[in-house]
Amino acid sequence: MSSSTLKHLEFVKRSARALKGGGDKAIEKQIAMGKLTARDRINALMDAHSFHEYDLFVEHRCRDFDMDKKVLPGDGVITGTGTLSGQGVCIYAQDFTVAGGSLGLMHARKITKIMDHAIKMGLPIIGINDSGGARIQEGVDSLAGYGEIFYRNTSASGVVPQISVILGPCAGGAVYSPALTDFVFVVDQISKMFITGPEVIKTVLGEEISMEDLGGARVHTEISGNAHFFARNEVECFHQIKKLMTFLPGNNTKRPIPHAPAPPKPKFNIEQIIPAEPSKPYDVRDIIKAVCDNSDFFEIQERWAANIVIGFARLNGETIGVVGNQPLVLAGVLDVDSSDKAARFIRFCNAFSIPLVTFVDLPGYLPGVDQEHAGVIRHGAKILYAYSEATVPKITVILRKAYGGGYIAMCSRHLRADFVFAWPTAEIAVMGPEGAANIIFRNEIANAPDPAAMRKQKVAEYTQKFANPYVAAAAGHVDAVILPTDTRKFLLHAIQISKQKTESRPRKKHGIPPF
Amino acid sequence: MIDTTQIQKLQIEDREYETFFTKKFAGRRHYHPPDPRKILCVIPGVILKIHVHPGKKVLRNDPLLVLEAMKMENIILSPADGRIKAVNVEIGKMVPKGTVLVELE
């Protein structure tokens, strides 16, 4: 055999060993847990044959605790580049079959190297997490590795979209990388995220709880709000990621890839969705679907703080970010969680130049001791901050109720909405007619021979005079009162006309949002 | 269509809205004003020492007991001057969060 053939064979041998990850037994175990292997995950997620792997032959350098005798192929993480829904991306996937996907120095260096690429090249970064945590044998080097990742997550924030996919354990310090990224995907029974696990909680606090109940996919999509997308299995999860990518730009200087414009589906009849009675519920997502292209609304954090709806849609083929009060849940009030949810989404859209469309129908903020003690003042302020700060085109449609502080918060003219449209059913007022009449006409009502009749009369008077869009329109706070059937037309035009929008804010290092 | 069988009423200002509750909202705890005479355990742990007994007079900031939690010894101080009504814990026993440790008269 020629020497070049021998070298070729050596390469094939080394590659084959590295590509096997933790070996057949570990792979069998991974599959028995209902999980795909790291490499299969990447191939399932990326466009066919687009993945190019780097750093396959990286090895750890730990000498302590007999680690020098251990070979860890790829050091437990696969990194590379490719395309996803036609968009170039950088990706890494931790390989649980290699030392439990534990994070050592070289493992972290592979991740930070691909993250640096993402920032330099202006490409989204996708991280698939499946790791037992820090590689204890590597000690403080492993902690340093985490820190380097968190630093880059922060540095890349608002520059390139960052997506975390939790497909296994992600515990302790490791959870802070996903927490710093823009979108977190979890899968039922597979994802586990927590700072301190059930064992520590039991020994220290004497409380018993399963991993699933402490930090499973349902917990993070329904209770904590740490994750954005829930899937029943990995394949469904990959479909969600592919769909999300179609709405996103590669970086903060690019626009999302435009799609062919398409009208909404006729089954969403915009005139028949909202009940006339302001205390009756409806699903605001039907309104969104009645105006957006192809009635295709991609909802984010569907299961958490459902009293506000956020997500992406398209108008005339271009991505928009949608925020809408949801009267179906808690009457659509703003509260601690819904404010957090909307504020972060608004900031994402602003960072990536995605126009914002806001649908308003809310009675105000949620009353309650728990809300006040949980800091609804500080949390509620986030939504004001996020809307005021945003300089992307901002279009607001007031569907029905817009009372008090809720009216101001939901991208009102005063927070610099570019266009505020109101339906004839809009009620823009300091509060609901019942409450307002009870305060303004307190004496008249109390002193009347029939207080109940007087109250009814005064509520009717107030409703007639103020529960409409015309007081706000007379002041110029509303730009146009429009018929529901004209909503899409007005939105399409507003988006089109706002394309070259420029708006500046005072120069600063950065603002100080009420985190 | 909306399944109206699960619909709830939520009062905001002077109007009742028909709507659904979130799990979190439905499971919220009603507020009870704290009773300053009851000293509650704020972190689960083990009682190491008990400095007081029923009937004993204490001054504000007098140590009542020592609770070991998170590998730290926490000295529980009296929030006010008064007389001990009851001591509800024993040395060496694990106490959960929220337990009434000591009651003042």
Domains of chain B and CATH, by start: 38-104 (2.40.50.100)
The residue with tokens 């007991």 is B65
State the amino acid at position A463 in one-letter form: T
- Which tens digits make up the pLDDT trace of B33-70? 889 899 999 888 899 999 999 999 999 999 999 999 88
Please list every residue in chain B whose beta carbon sits closer than 8 Å to the beta carbon of residue A307. Answer: 22
Q: Do A330 and B31 touch (CB under 8 A)?
A: no
What is the percentage of chain A residues whose pLDDT exceeds 90? 93
pLDDT given at position A49: 96
* Cβ neighbours of A32 (radius 10 Å): 8
Chain B residues whose CB is inside 8 A of the A337 CB are: 24
Of the candidate ranges A226-235, A477-486, B69-78, the one whose mean pLDDT is the lowest: B69-78
Q: Do A331 and B12 touch (CB under 8 A)?
A: yes
**Count of CB atoms situated within 10 Å of the CB of A80:** 21
Between CA A340 and CA A225 the distance in angstroms is: 9
Q: Residues of chain A with pLDDT > 70: what percent? A: 100
Could you tell me which of A167, A43, A176 has the C-alpha nearest to residue A94?
A: A167
Q: Which of B13, B31, B94 sits opposite A431 (nearest CB)?
A: B13
Which of B6, B17, B46 is the mutation pick for testing A, counting most A CBs within 10 A? B17
Average of per-residue pLDDT across A76-101: 96
Query: Taking residues A109-135, what's their average pLDDT?
Result: 97
Tokens of A66: 């007999």
Give residue-wise pLDDT tens across range A436-465.
Answer: 999 999 999 999 999 999 999 999 999 999
Q: Which of A330, A369, A403 sits opposite B25 (nearest CB)?
A: A330
Mean pLDDT of all residues belonging to chain A: 95
In Å, the largest CA–CA distance within chain A is 113
List the single residue in B13, B18, B22 with the smallest CB-CB distance to A280. Answer: B18
Indicate the pTM of the whole model: 0.94
pLDDT reading at A1 higher than 70: no
β partners of residue B20:
A329
C-alpha span between A341 and A325 (Å, rounded): 12
CB contact under 8 A, A207 and B44: yes
Orientation of helix A451-466 relative to helix A433-440, angle to 10°: 120
* Record: contact B12-A364, CB cut-off 8 A: yes
pLDDT score for B1: 60
DSSP secondary structure of A443-459: HHHHHSSSHHHHHHHHH
Distances (CA, A) of A348 to A162, A325, A391: 11, 18, 12
pLDDT > 80? residue A368: yes
| B20 DSSP 8-state letter | B
Min Cα separation B65/chain A (Å) = 19
DSSP code per residue over A379-437? HHHHHHHHHHH--S-EEEEEEEEEEHHHHHHTT-GGGT-SEEEE-TT-EEESS-HHHHH
The residues near A269 (Cβ < 8 Å, ≥ 6 apart) are A290
* Range B6-24 burial, b when 16+ CB lie within 10 A, else e: eeeebebbbbebbbbbbeb
Of residues A176, A116, A118, the one with CA closest to residue A150: A176
- Measured CB to CB, residues of chain A less than 8 Å from chain B are 204-207, 222-223, 278-283, 305-307, 327-333, 337, 363-364, 366-370, 403, 431-432, 434-435, 438
Indicate yes or no: CB of B23 within 8 angstroms of CB of A222.
Answer: yes
Q: What does DSSP say about strands A125-129 and A87-94: parallel, antiparallel, or unpaired?
A: parallel
Give contacts of B70 with chain A, Cβ < 8 Å: 204
Of A294, A289, A176, A183, which is closest to residue A241 (Cα–Cα)?
A183
Q: Which residues of A touch B92 (CB under 8 A)?
A: none
Q: Do B19 and A337 touch (CB under 8 A)?
A: no
Does A405 score more than 90 pLDDT? yes
> Is the pLDDT confidence value at A204 over 80?
no
Section A381-388 average pLDDT: 98
**Is the Cβ pair B44, A206 closer than 8 Å?**
yes
Which of A369, A440, A445, A455 to probe by mutation at the B interface, max B CB count within 10 Å? Answer: A369
What CA–CA distances, in Å, run from A357 to A83, A323, A333, A350, A394? 29, 6, 18, 12, 6
β-strands B45-50, B94-95 pairing:
antiparallel
Both structure tokens of A257:
């890839």
Amino acid at A194: F
- Contacts of residue B9, defined as CB under 8 A and 6 or more positions apart, other chains included, come to B16, B17, B18, B19
pLDDT exceeds 80 at position B2: no
Q: How confident is the model at residue B21 (pLDDT cuts 50, 70, 90)?
A: very high
Q: What is the pLDDT of residues A224-281, one digit of tens each?
A: 999 999 999 999 999 999 999 999 999 999 999 999 999 999 999 999 999 988 899 9
Compute the average pLDDT of residues A460-485: 96
Question: Which of A200, A201, A224, A330 to mutate to probe the B interface, most B CBs <10 Å?
Answer: A330
Cβ–Cβ pairs < 8 A, chains A and B: 81
Residue numbers in A near B96 (CB within 8 A)? 206-207
What pLDDT digit, counting tens, does each position of A18-77 carry?
999 999 999 999 999 999 999 999 999 999 999 999 999 999 988 889 888 888 999 999
* Smallest CA–CA distance from A202 into chain B, residue: B44
Q: Across residues A96-119, what is the average pLDDT?
A: 96
Contact list, A280 vs chain B (CB under 8 Å): 18
